[in-house]
Amino acid sequence: SDARVFDQDGDGQPGVTVTVSGLASGEVYVVQWQRAWYQGQLTESGPLVGENHAEASTQKTIGASTSLLMMNVPSRPDTDRTDDVVRLIPLTGEYDCDRLVSEATTVFGG
């Protein structure tokens, strides 16, 4: 048992639960370790816009709802860097998830 592993999504299972469907269907409980850094420029309108540079990432299966899903599938980095955009937007006032979701169009545009 590793003290760093906890029920991150509050469903009673350790780690994060991922629902899988296909040849074998069920739930997989995983933990991830990632190391990344951001690089960008502060724009005149406020947001910092740049790239997410993922240096290392590891995912480990720590449990599953069926033994067929109890395996560690090797991962590989995504070589398409167009999805690695990060925008850090300054907010005023207090925000929780509900407020941010309800104001997402205003905060993030579009």
Q: Could you tell me if 34 and 54 are in contact, meaning their C-beta atoms sit under 8 angstroms apart? A: yes
With the C-alpha atoms ordered 37, 43, 46, 47, is the resulting torsion angle positive or negative? negative
In eight-state DSSP terms, residue 106 is H
Backbone torsions φ then ψ of 69, nearest 5 degrees: -95, 0
Report the alpha-carbon angle 5-95-99, nearest 5: 100
What is the distance between the alpha carbons of residues 106 and 110, in angstroms, rounded to a whole number? 8
Q: Could you tell me if 63 and 29 are in contact, meaning their C-beta atoms sit under 8 angstroms apart? A: yes
Q: What is the predicted pLDDT for the residue at 55?
A: 76
Q: What is the predicted pLDDT for the residue at 109?
A: 79
Average of per-residue pLDDT across 37-51: 88
Q: What is the predicted pLDDT for the residue at 99?
A: 95
